[in-house]
Structures are given as structure tokens and as C-alpha cells.
Amino acid sequence: MLSFETLSKTYADGTQALSRIEVEVAAGEILALVGGSGCGKTTLLRLIAGLDQPSAGRIVLNGETIGEPRADVGVIFQEPRLFPWLSVADNVAFGLSHLSAFEREGLVTNALVRVGLAGYERRWPRELSGGQQQRVAIARALITRPKLLLMDEPFSALDATTRASLHGHLLALWEESRPTVVMVTHDVEEAVTLADRIIVMQPKPGRIFDELDNPLARPRDRLSPAFEAIKRDALRTLDRSLRDEAPLQNKAAETAGMWW
């Protein structure tokens, strides 16, 4: 389990990036963070990754406070960030140096099959398209079976068709070990496609505005009425957050209090 306990972050110049974030993420859950620019989504990912320290509160993963980068926390960035001097196979196997060559080869072959790159082991990153490079990055992040995977808009630079294909490849690899996933995205449809729960954040300071459960079974049909209903609800919630309105449940509580 991953939990954020009254988490706040204020930078040296006085900018309050996050204020009192409290969330619990179940093991194996995929959580999506959406919100307008400046709401602290990437700051939150940096704190989870141990790349920065909170000003108050803490982040706990399976009972241990995260205070520095950990081997059991994987990250997929906006750019693939592959090593250009390593082959595709060696990029994917980068975190497997503790295993024998035979074990590494088997895991790499399976991972590349799962992301649709069977036979690409000897290719160089420069020989791949942007979408193929991101597939390699996904395989590299998940091959070590991390307990927690962080994704910072890894599909934002890709066209819609490639993005949809990578969603499927990501979920195929995720199914093998079911790590907990926290992803940042500006694409509401992507959040509905991948996430079990969507957190809508609000800026100045970054805080939780509302959260939406997504009970749809996988694989999810983007053209189904149920998918469209959740997507519309998420878009309405995001719109309210940008207009600084209270979430619907808060409004309902206020209305009930007024009638009382």
C-alpha cells in the first residue's frame, strides 16, 4: 500500500506547491492524477520517487517512509531516455545485472514480445520510431517487477493511434505482476482507459479537488456508453476545478446543511 500522509511541499522561494495531500493507494491499483497546470502533479511524482523531500508529512510504501530513490520504484518519463550506446535488449536489461545472462535473455525476450517488439533485440535506439522507443522504456521499467511504477505523461508526445496501442502494451505487462501505478496525465480519456481511480487536483496551492472511481472492467471499450459517462463526469469535475468551484459532494453537503 502507498499512502500520502498530510503531505505538503513549499519551495525555498515561498511557493507552496502542495498542501495537505492525503491519499491511500491500494496495492495493484492504477491511480491517475489530472489537473490544470501548476497543481503540483509532477512535484508529487518527484516526492514519491524520492527525488525531492516534502516540507511536511510523509509518503509511505508498504510501511516504509520514502526518502530517497529506491530500486523497487520504477519511473517512465515523458521521453524514453534510452541509452543510445546500448542495444534495445541491453536497454531493457539494464536493471537486471544481478541475474545470469540466461535469465536476462529470457526476461528481455518475453518483455519485448509483450510490447510488440519481438526481434528488435539487436536494434539501436536511433533505429526506432518514437513510439517504439517508448515501448522499450515501458519494458525496461516493468521488467524488474517494481512494487510501484510512476508515469509522468509518457504518451503525451505520441499520436492517438500509437498512444492507444501503448496503453494495451502497458496493461499487458502490468497484468504480469500488478504493481501499484501512479500516473500523471492531461488526457482525461487516457485516465479513464487506464486508471481504477482518478484524482482531480487544483492549483495554488496544489491540493485534491475531487476523486472519481472507475469500476469498468478491462479491456475498456472507449466507444461504450459507460466509458463516455465516466469520461464526461471526469471532464465536468476538471472543469469545476479550473473554475474554483467546490466538488459536487461538498456542494451537496452544504445544501443539506442549508435545508437543515
Look at residue 39 and tell me if it is in a domain.
Answer: yes
Domain that holds residue 34: 2-80+148-244
pTM for the whole structure: 0.86
Q: Which residue has the cell 471526469?
A: 234
Whether residue 103 lies inside any domain: the answer is: no
Tens of pLDDT, residues 74-95: 998 888 899 999 999 999 999 8
Q: Is residue 86 part of a domain?
A: no
Question: What one-character-per-residue DSSP string does 190-218 give?
Answer: HHHHH-SEEEEEETTTBEEEEEEE--PPS
Give the span between the Cα atoms of 214 and 196, in whole angstroms. Answer: 5
Q: Is residue 159 part of a domain?
A: yes
Across 186-190, 241-245, 253-257, the highest mean pLDDT is recorded for 186-190
Torsion of CA 228, 230, 231, 232, to 10 degrees: 90
Domain count within the chain: 1
From the number of C-beta atoms within 10 Å of its C-beta (0-12, 13-18, 19+), residue 97 rates as exposed
In a domain, 143, yes or no: no
Please indicate, yes or no, if residue 70 is contained in any of the structural domains.
yes
In a domain, 255, yes or no: no
Rounded to the nearest integer, the mean pLDDT of the chain is 88
Instruction: State the average pLDDT over residues 136-148.
Output: 90
Please answer whether residues 227 and 192 qualify as being in contact, where contact means their C-beta atoms are separated by less than 8 angstroms.
yes
Please report, for the domain that includes residue 198, its CATH number.
3.40.50.300
Q: What is the pLDDT of residue 246?
A: 57
Q: What's the pLDDT at 170?
A: 86
DSSP 125-136: GGGS-HHHHHHH
**Is residue 204, in this structure, part of any structural domain at all?**
yes
20-63 pLDDT, tens digit each: 999 999 999 999 999 988 888 889 999 999 999 999 999 999 99
